[in-house]
């Protein structure tokens, strides 16, 4: 039975069951150490220092043999300075006789137990629970009984040294695959397989902002599994409905042992989830410009995203949760329906967007149609003004050159020329 208990405790320290075979045999042989005898009375204790951690427990492996005429009745354990050849009664930490007036020290009372209650089996191994660093020291064994019908006993000089360090072991936290909307259970197992005080186990969340809070409104259960009479496993489970908000947050399992010792383990929570597909960018562009659209979706695990044009085989792939559709020097033929296909966990969802490309002709003609009426009006006004000025100039020039008829007749009458052409007229006047 002791081998089973010692093996279980060793496994709890090493944390592995798959390779315990030869390791356990070697470890146990080393722990038992060598046999030391005084006459026909022998004790087997560990030859080396036993190390343990505060808050947990330690097993001191021990066995003894006696002379045939000696009948063992009780075992007594002491803790004292190594300089003392024999520990005194006020340094008792365990006495198997509950009716004796020699009691264990108050600091050890209730923390020390025999692994084998039947002394006749000559197994003197003990387990010390709820360890403190002050438990470090030298431990000595005394066996009492009857020799030839008389009370007798023997204190073995051989001792075992125990060194208790600070608690370094972490709890074991198991997180199953979490999917949004599907109930899940997290499991936290306290380190050690001790039968001492039951530890307190609490769960806390730490969100993206760094704030820590205790988990409430969910189901938290605690149970203790008895593996043997002296080994127990303490387990806490937490059941909740994960959502996208829990993704990439931290969950911590904290263990508080008797005496103020505590340990914790923090893991990052990943929740399988997918949010809505979003498409960003300008969908109406001018010919020759750059078309730049982005299709994205927040999901875990990351989705595969494909861009395609309706009726075309051209695709753009991305595994990063977003995919860009970039077309340099866009042309009118790029107009039409473009499709973003998101593949998440073997399911494909699609979202389409309509792209409009304004052709260069429409661009320039549009500007001309706006300016042309003003150009025509300007030219028309200029021509009209020129014509009016020109006519006015011609009119003034004609007035200066063509005199009135009266002035021309008067000038003819005053002519002095007496040529034969004017003889008749001249004579008549006179």
278-308 exposure pattern, b = at least 16 Cβ within 10 A, e = fewer: ebeeeeebebeeebebbbbbbbbeebbbbbb
Q: What is the pLDDT of residue 18?
A: 28
Instruction: State the average pLDDT over residues 329-351.
Output: 92
Instruction: State the average pLDDT over residues 360-377.
Output: 61
Task: Tell me the C-alpha distance between 327 and 289, whole Å.
Answer: 9
Confidence of residue 13 (pLDDT cuts 50, 70, 90): very low
pLDDT digits (tens, 9 = 90+) for 194-229: 988 999 999 998 876 666 666 655 778 888 888 887
* Lowest mean pLDDT segment, chosen from 91-100, 231-240, 325-334, 404-413: 404-413
The two three-digit tokens of residue 9, written as one number:
């405790």
> Is the domain covering 2-165 a CATH 2.60.40.10 domain?
yes
Beta-carbon contacts of 39 under 8 Å, excluding residues fewer than 6 positions away, are 67
Confidence of residue 412 (pLDDT cuts 50, 70, 90): very low
Is residue 366 over pLDDT 60?
Answer: no
Q: What is each CA distance from 384 to 334, 377, 390, in whole angstroms?
A: 49, 11, 10
Confidence of residue 377 (pLDDT cuts 50, 70, 90): confident
Q: Which residues pair with 267 in a beta bridge?
A: 251
Confidence of residue 108 (pLDDT cuts 50, 70, 90): very high
Q: Which residues pair with 273 in a beta bridge?
A: 300
347-358 β-sheet, strand order? 284-286, 347-358, 336-344, 304-309, 316-318
172-273 matches 275-358 in fold: yes
Task: Tell me the C-alpha distance between 111 and 40, whole Å.
Answer: 32
* 3-state class percentages of the chain: helix first, strand second, coil last, to nearest 5: 25, 40, 35
* Torsion, Cα of 88, 90, 94, 99 (10° steps): 110
Confidence of residue 95 (pLDDT cuts 50, 70, 90): very high
Is residue 400 over pLDDT 60?
Answer: no
Task: Tell me the C-alpha distance between 4 and 17, whole Å.
Answer: 13
pLDDT digits (tens, 9 = 90+) for 117-142: 999 999 999 999 999 999 999 999 99
CATH hierarchy code of domain 275-358: 2.60.40.10
Q: What is the pLDDT of residue 317?
A: 61
Using the 8-state DSSP alphabet, how is residue 389 labeled?
H
Q: What is the pLDDT of residue 268?
A: 93
Strands 336-344 and 304-309: antiparallel
* Torsion, Cα of 27, 28, 30, 34 (10° steps): -170
Q: Which residues pair with 17 in a beta bridge?
A: none
Task: Tell me the C-alpha distance between 336 and 357, whole Å.
Answer: 9
Q: Tell the burial category of 192 from Cβ atoms under 10 Å away from its Cβ (0-12, 13-18, 19+).
A: buried
Sketch the domain layout of the chain as residue ranges.
Answer: 2-165, 172-273, 275-358
pLDDT digits (tens, 9 = 90+) for 38-50: 999 999 998 789 9
Q: Quote the CATH superfamily of domain 172-273.
A: Immunoglobulins (2.60.40.10)
């Amino acid at each position: 039975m002791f081998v089973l208990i010692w093996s279980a405790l060793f496994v709890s320290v090493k944390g592995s069951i798959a390779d315990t075979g030869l390791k356990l045999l070697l470890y146990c042989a080393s722990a038992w150490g060598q046999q030391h005898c005084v006459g026909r009375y022998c004790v087997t204790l560990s030859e080396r220092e036993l190390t343990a951690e505060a808050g947990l427990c330690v097993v001191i492996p021990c066995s003894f043999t006696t002379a045939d005429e000696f009948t063992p009745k009780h075992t007594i354990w002491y803790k004292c300075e190594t300089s003392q050849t024999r520990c005194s009664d006020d340094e008792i930490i365990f006495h198997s006789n509950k009716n004796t007036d020699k009691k264990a020290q108050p600091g050890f009372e209730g923390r020390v137990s025999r692994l084998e209650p039947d002394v006749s089996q000559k197994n003197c191994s003990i387990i010390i629970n709820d360890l403190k660093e002050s438990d470090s020291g030298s431990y000595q064994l005394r066996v009492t009984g009857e020799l030839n019908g008389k009370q007798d006993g023997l204190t073995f000089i051989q001792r075992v040294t125990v060194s208790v360090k600070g608690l370094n072991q972490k709890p074991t936290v198991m997180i199953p695959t979490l999917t949004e909307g599907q109930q899940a259970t997290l499991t936290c197992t306290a380190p050690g397989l001790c039968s001492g005080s039951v530890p307190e186990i609490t769960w806390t969340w730490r969100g993206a902002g760094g704030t820590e809070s205790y988990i409430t409104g969910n189901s938290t259960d605690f149970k203790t599994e008895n593996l043997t009479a002296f080994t127990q496993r303490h387990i806490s489970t937490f059941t909740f409905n994960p959502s996208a908000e829990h993704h990439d947050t931290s969950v911590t399992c904290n263990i508080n042992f008797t005496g103020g010792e505590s340990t914790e383990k923090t893991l990052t929570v990943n929740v399988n989830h997918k949010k809505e597909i979003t498409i960003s960018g300008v969908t109406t562009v001018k010919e020759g410009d750059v078309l730049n659209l982005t299709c994205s979706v927040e999901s875990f695990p990351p989705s595969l995203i494909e861009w395609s044009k309706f009726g075309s085989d051209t695709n753009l792939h991305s595994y990063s949760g977003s995919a860009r559709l970039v077309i340099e020097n866009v042309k009118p033929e790029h107009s039409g329906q473009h499709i973003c296909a998101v593949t998440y966990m073997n399911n494909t969802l699609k979202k389409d967007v309509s792209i409009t490309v304004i052709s260069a002709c429409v661009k320039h003609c549009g500007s001309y149609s706006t300016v042309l009426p003003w150009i025509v009006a300007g030219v028309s006004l200029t021509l009209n003004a020129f014509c009016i000025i020109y006519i006015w100039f011609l009119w003034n020039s004609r007035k200066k050159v063509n005199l009135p008829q009266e002035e021309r007749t008067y000038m003819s009458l005053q002519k002095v020329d007496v040529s034969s052409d004017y003889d008749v007229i001249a004579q008549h006047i006179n």
